[in-house]
Amino acid sequence: MLRTRKRLREALVAYGFISPWLIGFVLFMGGPIVASLVLSFFRWKLIEPPVFVGLDNYVEMFTADPLFLQSLKVTGLYVLIAIPAGQVLALWLALLLNQKIRFLGFWRSLFYLPSVIGGVAVTVLWLWMYQPDYGVINSLLELVGLKGPNWLYSESWSLPALMIKSLWSVGGSMVIYLAGLQGVPRELQEAAQVDGAGEVQMFFKITLPMLTPVIFFNVIMAIILGIQTFVEPYLMTLGGPSNTTLFLGLYLYQAAFRFLKMGYASAMAWIMFIIIMTVTLIQFKFSERWVYYEMPEG
C-alpha cells in the first residue's frame, strides 16, 4: 500500500512537470489537428456558417480542380529532382570536408552557415540575384558571353530556379553526412587498402553501405520538407508564371486565406499528410533491402 502511494505520488509529480507541454500540445497542436479533420467535411468561408458536405471537398480536389492536380505535379517534380540533387551535393561536400586540409574548421563552417541563415531573408536575397536585368547570376553569365534567362518570369525556368535555390541549404544534410563519415570504421578501410582496393572501390563497397542509415534519414527529412515547400514560391513567384510554381503548400495557403475556403484547405492539408505518411511508410518498407545497420556481436 505504501509503495503504491509512493508510485502514485511520483507519477503525479512527473505529470506536473510535463503538464505545460501537455497543455500546449492539446491547445496548439492536438486541438487544431482534430478541428482541421472535422472541418475537412464542411464547406466554410469564415463569414458564413459551416455546412456539412461529407466527402465533397475530397472529391472536388481530384475531379473538378485542375489547380490542385497542377500543385501535385509541381510538388512531385520538385521532390523528384531537387531532393536527389541536394543529397548528392551534400554527400559530395561532406566527402571533401572529411579530408585533412588546412583551415578545415573554416571550410566546414562556411558551407554549413547558409543552412542556418534561411527563411525569408535568404529568399529575398535570391529574388534579387535572379533579377533578369541587374541580378548577380545573369551578370556573371554575361561575363562569359551567355545571356541569362528571365528566371522567375519564364515558364521554363521558374521551377528550375527554385530547385537551384534549394541547394543553398544543403549544409544541414552535409553536417549529418560528415558525422556519418566519421563513424565509418577505419579498420575496414585499411583492410581494403591492404587488399589493393582503390578510392572508388572503397567508397562504393565500404563507405556508401556504411552511410545508408544516414542517407535514409536525410532523404526522409528532405522529402517531408520538400512536400511542404511554401516560403520560396510564396515570396518569389506566387505560383506563377501560369501556375508553373504552384506548390501544394502554396495552393493550400491560397485556398484558406485568399479564397477563404477553410473546409477545402483543411481537406487539402489532410491529403498532404496522407501523401507524406504514405511516402514515409514506403521508404521504411523498402529500407530493409538497402539500408545496412551494423550490429554488435551477440
Pick the CATH number of 56-290 from 3.30.2130.30, 3.30.450.70, 1.10.3720.10, 3.40.640.10: 1.10.3720.10
**Could you tell me the pLDDT band of residue 296, with boundaries at 50, 70 and 90?**
low
Signed CA dihedral, 226, 232, 234, 239: sign only: negative
Question: What local confidence, expressed as pLDDT, does residue 75 receive?
Answer: 96
User: Rounded to whole angstroms, what are the CA distances from 236 to 39, 77, 98, 158, 249?
Assistant: 30, 18, 35, 9, 14
pLDDT mean over 5-16? 84
Per-residue CA distances from 152 to 43, 99, 129, 205, 236 (Å): 35, 38, 11, 42, 7
CB 123 within 8 A of CB 232: yes
283-298 mean pLDDT = 77
| The pLDDT of residue 114 is above 80 | yes
- Enter the pTM of the model: 0.88
CA distances from 195 to 188, 189, 190 (A): 11, 10, 9
Is pLDDT at 298 greater than 50 in this prediction? no
Spatial separation of the C-alpha atoms in residues 251 and 255, rounded to whole Å = 6
Give the pLDDT of residue 166. Answer: 92
Question: What's the rounded mean pLDDT across residues 179-202?
Answer: 80
Across the range 97-101, mean pLDDT stands at 86
Higher pLDDT, 209 or 264: 264
Cell of 174: 552535409
The domain segmentation of the chain, as residue ranges, is 1-39, 56-290
